[in-house]
């Protein structure tokens, strides 16, 4: 897993948060796949609700535990969480009730 996570953050003010997410997602499809896998596992174990922020922390934890590089620059912006939740629901409509969605303040 460590070699898979070569991520870039673009804090350019010229892009909207949604555009930054799209850019990040297109460069890092493995993040979505990991979130999808974890969500499926939780649902298959009977969970009715899943917190996307919890999944982000598990993703960070797993990466940290599987890498030997204490100086790793692995980053995933918390601002992407609502976009990933929506993407998971869009591509897996059966999970509509699994994630609680709120309005995204800045698109």
Whether 74 is in a domain gets the answer yes
Return the higher-pLDDT residue of 64 and 46.
46
Residue pLDDT, tens place only, 36-46: 999 999 999 99
Least confident of 4-8, 10-14, 27-31, 43-47: 4-8
In whole angstroms, what is the distance from residue 8 CA to residue 12 CA?
12
Whether 89 is in a domain gets the answer yes
Return the higher-pLDDT residue of 12 and 61.
61
Domain total of the chain:
1
Q: Given this model, what pLDDT does residue 104 score?
A: 78
In whole angstroms, what is the distance from residue 28 CA to residue 98 CA?
23
In whole angstroms, what is the distance from residue 36 CA to residue 71 CA?
27
Whether 58 is in a domain gets the answer yes
Whether 64 is in a domain gets the answer yes
Whether 103 is in a domain gets the answer no
Residue pLDDT, tens place only, 77-106: 999 999 999 999 999 999 999 999 988 776
Whether 85 is in a domain gets the answer yes
Q: Given this model, what pLDDT does residue 2 score?
A: 47
Structural domain of 55 = 2-95
Whether 43 is in a domain gets the answer yes
Q: Where are the alpha helices (DSSP H) in the chain?
A: 17-27, 29-44, 52-66, 81-91
Whether 104 is in a domain gets the answer no
């Amino acid at each position: 897993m460590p070699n898979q996570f070569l991520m870039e953050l673009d804090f350019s003010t010229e892009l909207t948060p949604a555009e930054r997410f799209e850019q990040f997602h297109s460069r890092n499809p493995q993040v979505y796949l990991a979130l999808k896998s974890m969500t499926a596992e939780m649902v298959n174990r009977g969970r009715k609700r899943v917190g996307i922020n919890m999944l982000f922390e598990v993703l960070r934890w797993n990466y940290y535990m599987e890498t030997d590089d204490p100086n790793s620059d692995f980053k995933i912006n918390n601002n992407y969480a609502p976009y990933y939740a929506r993407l998971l629901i869009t591509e897996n409509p059966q999970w509509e009730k699994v994630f609680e969605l709120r309005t995204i303040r800045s698109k």
